[in-house]
Amino acid sequence: MNRFDYVRAGTVAEAVQAFAGAEGSRFIAGGTNLIDLMKYDVERPGRLVDITRLPLDRIEERDGGLRLGALATNAQVAYDARVQSRYPLLANAILAGASAQLRNAASTGGNLLQRTRCYYFYDTATPCNKREPGSGCSAIGGVARIHAIFGTSAHCIATHPSDMCVALAALEAVVQVSGPEGERSIPFAEFHRLPGDSPQTDTTLKPGEIVVAVDLPAREFGPHFTYLKLRDRLSYAFALVSVAAALELDGDRVKTARLALGGVAHKPWRNREAEELLQGKPATRESFQAAADRVVAEAKTQGGPQGNAFKVELARRAIVRGLEQAAAGTPQSISDKRIQ
Instruction: Identify the H or E element spanning 322.
Output: helix 310-328
Tell me which stretch binds another protein (CB under 8 A): 37-45, 68-76, 83-91, 188-196.
37-45
Does 233 engage in binding with another protein (CB under 8 A)? yes
- Give the binding range for another protein (CB under 8 A) out of 9-17, 82-90, 287-295, 316-324: 316-324
| 210: CB partners within 8 A, 6+ apart | 12, 15, 16, 19, 27, 51, 70, 109, 177, 178, 179
Interface with another protein includes 11 (CB under 8 A)? no
Closer to another protein at the Cβ: 174 or 320? 320
- The only residue of 84, 126, 284, 301 in contact with another protein, by rule CB under 8 A: 126
- Residue 271 has φ and ψ, to the nearest 5°, of -130, 100
Instruction: Provide CB contacts within 8 A for 295, sequence distance 6+.
Output: 259, 261, 269, 271, 274, 315, 316, 319
Binding residue for another protein (CB under 8 A) from 53, 219, 281, 317? 317
Asked if 257 contacts 242 with a C-beta cutoff of 8 angstroms, the reply is no
Which residue(s) pair with 72 in the sheet? Answer: none
To another protein, the closest distance from the beta carbon of 30 in angstroms equals 16
Cα–Cα distance for residue pair 173/217, rounded to 1 Å: 6
Check: CB of residue 189 under 8 Å from CB of residue 172: yes
CA distance 247 to 304: 37
DSSP string, 280-294: TSBSSHHHHHHHHHH
| Nearest to another protein of 219, 317 (CB atom) | 317
Q: Is 141 a residue that touches another protein (CB under 8 A)?
A: yes
**In the complex, least distance from residue 136 CB atom to another protein, rounded to whole angstroms:** 12
Q: Residue 73: how many CA atoms within 13 Å on its side-chain side?
A: 17
Nearer to another protein, 189 or 290 (CB): 290
Residues 296 and 312 sit within 8 Å (Cβ to Cβ): yes
d(CA 65, CA 215): 7
119 counts as binding another protein under rule CB under 8 A: yes
Chain-centroid distance of CA 312 in Å reads: 19
Q: Which residue among 87, 120, 221, 225 contacts another protein (CB under 8 A)?
A: 120
Cβ of residue 336: shortest distance to another protein, in angstroms?
A: 10
What is the closest distance, in whole angstroms, from the C-beta atom of residue 73 to another protein in the complex?
A: 20
Segment contacting another protein by CB under 8 A, of 116-124, 173-181, 247-255, 266-274? 116-124
Choose between 95 and 174: whose C-beta lies nearer to another protein.
Answer: 95
Considering the complex, state which of residue 38 and residue 177 has its C-beta at the smaller distance from another protein.
Answer: 38
Task: Tell me the window of 36-44, 61-69, 104-112, 163-171 that interacts with another protein (CB under 8 A).
Answer: 36-44
Cα separations in angstroms, 107 against 15, 132, 337:
16, 27, 26
**Choices 61-69, 108-116, 295-303, 317-325; region in contact with another protein by CB under 8 A:** 317-325
Is residue 13 exposed (0-12), middle (13-18) or buried (19+ Cβ within 10 Å)? exposed
Q: Which is nearer to another protein, 111 or 178 (CB)?
A: 111
> Residue 217 burial (CB < 10 Å; 0-12/13-18/19+)?
middle
CB of 180 to another protein, least distance (A): 30
Contact status: 23 vs another protein (CB under 8 A): no
User: Hey, which residues between 41 and 70 contact another protein (CB under 8 A)?
Assistant: 41, 44
Cβ proximity to another protein: between 1 and 218 the closer is: 1
Q: Which residues bind another protein (CB under 8 A)?
A: 1-3, 39-41, 44, 119-120, 122-123, 125-126, 138, 141-143, 145-146, 230-238, 240, 306, 310, 313-314, 317-318, 321, 337-340
